[in-house]
Amino acid sequence: MAVIDRETETALDAARDRYGRTVHHSAATAARARRTQAVLAAYATHLAEHGRQLLTAARSGLDHLPTAPHTTAWRDLLDVLAASHTEITRVINDPAAPGSAEQSEQRAAVWPHLAFWADYGSIAAGLADQHHQPGPELSPEDKRRWTDQVRAARRWGELDPIESWYAADGRLITVAYLVQDDTSTVIALAGAPDTAGWEVIGHYDHESAAGRALPRAVPLGVLRPEAASRFNRPAPTPERPVQELLQEVIEARTASEVSEALLTAARQGYEAGPLIRLERLLDTAARFSCALDTVRGQQIGARLAALGRQLAFLTQEVHDAAEDLGATVGVLPPYRTPAPPRIRPRPAVSTTPPTPPPQSTAATRRT
């Protein structure tokens, strides 16, 4: 799905103008139709016959998990995935006539179901994987010994985290490299490494061994439950690139032209400027970092939020300075003359080329 989506986005980009507005609507519609057809074909090949089995295994895995508010939400998602699977297989088994109006309506109706599976089918796969039986953890004595050793190594910067996930029991599992004396050992920690309660639960020769021995990951969360599908995003809003604004300032002759470029960068509203978009990016990243529910995440979230506030102040300063610059009605003085281009003159077409020097031969060299 990701490959098909990238190809479609490339085609949609070709149908937009330099600011992201769709101008070739027929080409955009054709690109979306090809995307739906390609995803339907992939679904028919990989999921049509096995979707029900996957959902059954996911429900079975979910039944063995501890009861929690998110398990109820996962069960609701599985029900919606089942309903979407029914709609998709119905279209696969009974397609409309090619090129007909019914086919266009059918594709438009089935696309949200395909996008839903592309976004959240991994939740079903993750729940079905909960039947995995993890290996035994370290004994209490070995846990204390290894935890003390790893805590000391972490203070010396010898612990390099690789990845982390949540297990079904709610523990945060972190896999890291312990690098000491030119040797590397894969270590598994239970608990957030930035808190005082974490402990080592296993050590392994390599990452694949750790993956076989450790509890499987439960499905990850999302920042905004109501966010749009990554495969069904709204049309992008018009945007002026920073590079274009910079070039306009370089080519400007009057203060009003530079003022307009700066005001565009700090513009609020639907066609927000790059400074406003960067401010929103920092704010959203701060919310994400805080949502990690770790001490380190809260600290970084506070830093990002502070940067967002500083940028908001800077944006207002840019706006005010731009208005002041425009009020000067200034122009560049004439002594700032442009440099002529460095173009080498070419000979006229009728010019006879110079006679090349005679080539030396072995006989003339001996003479």
Condensed to tens digits (0 to 9), the pLDDT of residues 51-68 reads: 999 999 999 999 989 888
Rounded CA separation 134/188 (Å): 13
pTM of the model: 0.83
Phi and psi, residue 167, nearest 5°: -90, 170
Q: Please report the pLDDT score of residue 365 as a whole number.
A: 52
43-47, 85-89, 313-317, 351-355: range with lowest mean pLDDT: 351-355
Q: Please tell me which residue, 338 or 282, carries the higher pLDDT value.
A: 282
Q: Please report the pLDDT score of residue 193 as a whole number.
A: 83
Q: Please report the pLDDT score of residue 82 as a whole number.
A: 97
* pLDDT confidence bin for 350, thresholds 50/70/90: low
* pLDDT confidence bin for 132, thresholds 50/70/90: confident
From residue 171, alpha-carbon distances to 84, 218, 343, 353 in Å are 32, 10, 69, 83
* % of the chain with per-residue pLDDT over 90: 71
Q: Please report the pLDDT score of residue 326 as a whole number.
A: 96
* pLDDT confidence bin for 18, thresholds 50/70/90: confident
Q: CB under 8 Å to 114, separation ≥6 — which residues?
A: 36, 39, 40, 43, 84, 88, 231
185, containing H or E segment: strand 183-190
Average pLDDT over residues 306-325: 97
Rounded CA separation 62/78 (Å): 10
Q: Please tell me which residue, 51 or 194, carries the higher pLDDT value.
A: 51
Q: Please report the pLDDT score of residue 291 as a whole number.
A: 95
Q: Please report the pLDDT score of residue 44 as a whole number.
A: 95
Q: Please report the pLDDT score of residue 47 as a whole number.
A: 93
Q: Please report the pLDDT score of residue 126 as a whole number.
A: 93
Q: Please report the pLDDT score of residue 354 as a whole number.
A: 66
Asked whether residue 297 carries a pLDDT value surpassing 70, the answer given is yes
CB 16 within 8 A of CB 31: no
CB 104 within 8 A of CB 33: yes
CA 9-13-17 angle, 5° bins: 160
Per-residue pLDDT tens over the stretch 245-288 = 999 999 999 999 999 999 999 999 989 999 999 999 999 999 99
**Mean pLDDT score of the chain, rounded to an integer?**
91
Q: Please report the pLDDT score of residue 243 as a whole number.
A: 95
Asked whether residue 93 carries a pLDDT value surpassing 80, the answer given is yes
Q: Please report the pLDDT score of residue 259 as a whole number.
A: 97
Rounded CA separation 32/108 (Å): 9
Asked whether residue 19 carries a pLDDT value surpassing 90, the answer given is no
Q: Please report the pLDDT score of residue 238 as a whole number.
A: 86
Asked whether residue 349 carries a pLDDT value surpassing 70, the answer given is no
32-36, 109-113, 234-238: range with lowest mean pLDDT: 234-238
Please name every residue paired with 22 in a beta bridge, in sequence order, or none if there are none.
16
Asked whether residue 299 carries a pLDDT value surpassing 70, the answer given is yes
Average pLDDT over residues 100-122: 93
